[in-house]
Amino acid sequence: MGIVYDAGGKFDKSFNQSAFEGAQRFKKETNISFIEAQASSDTQAEQVLRALARKNLDLIASVGFAQTQAVQKVAKEFPKVKFVLIDGTATGNNVNSVLFKEEEGSYLVGVAAAMASKTKKLGFIGGIDIPLIRTFACGYAQGAKAANAKVEVTQNMVGTTSSAWNDPAKGGELARSQF
């Protein structure tokens, strides 16, 4: 088995880390090991996937929608290898896509934030301004409004490219602007 983390790395405190921790638990419970790799850029994902596929692994899991095109392309080249794309949609006879209802978790966070707020002013800061992150934001705002119709939710996105995931200074600046 192989697992390919996206540019955030396996300690990103997000999807990659959840995948890493799940793989660690799987290894402990089944005694089946896995090979890890990281695609440090979206374009490198194809090379990393191809390198793992050449090792004749039964299954390769790719973490993140940014690897969608790479998974589709490499899966066609290696039809005997099974691929799983987490948080994205890819097609192919040897490809499975795993999607989440991210808005539902965000809804609950919005409810909790509204219930805890003394000012009725809440903020949401997303990474990349893409539909997926907008879905998180929408769930958050809907949950907040469900808990308290008078709450105000300010939403900001850090950027429009993958560098937004790694820009804590901009995230901090946006957070301070919401106060």
pLDDT in tens, 83-139: 999 999 999 999 999 998 989 999 999 999 999 999 999 999 999 999 989 999 999
The sign one gets for the Cα dihedral 137, 138, 139, 144 is positive
Distance CA 108, CA 65 (A): 24
Find residue 154's DSSP bridge partners. Answer: 123
Distance CA 175, CA 165 (A): 15
At residue 12 the predicted structure's pLDDT band, cuts being 50, 70 and 90, is confident
What fold is seen in the domain 2-98? Answer: Rossmann fold (3.40.50)
Q: Is 96 helix (H, G, I), strand (E, B) or coil?
A: strand
pLDDT of residue 14: 83
Q: Given this chain, do its domains 2-98 and 102-177 carry the same CATH topology?
A: yes
Query: What is the reported pTM?
Result: 0.75
pLDDT of residue 27: 93
The predicted-structure confidence for 51-82, as pLDDT tens digits, reads as follows 999 998 999 999 998 899 999 999 999 999 99
At residue 166 the predicted structure's pLDDT band, cuts being 50, 70 and 90, is confident
CB 42 within 8 A of CB 66: yes
Percent of the chain beyond pLDDT 90?
A: 82
Over residues 31-46, mean pLDDT = 89
CB 140 within 8 A of CB 153: yes
2.60.40.10, 3.30.470.10, 3.40.50.2300, 3.30.420.40: which CATH number matches 102-177? 3.40.50.2300
What residue ranges do the domains of the chain occupy? 2-98, 102-177
Distance CA 64, CA 87 (A): 5
AA identity, residue 75: A
- Residue position matching structure tokens 């390198």: 51
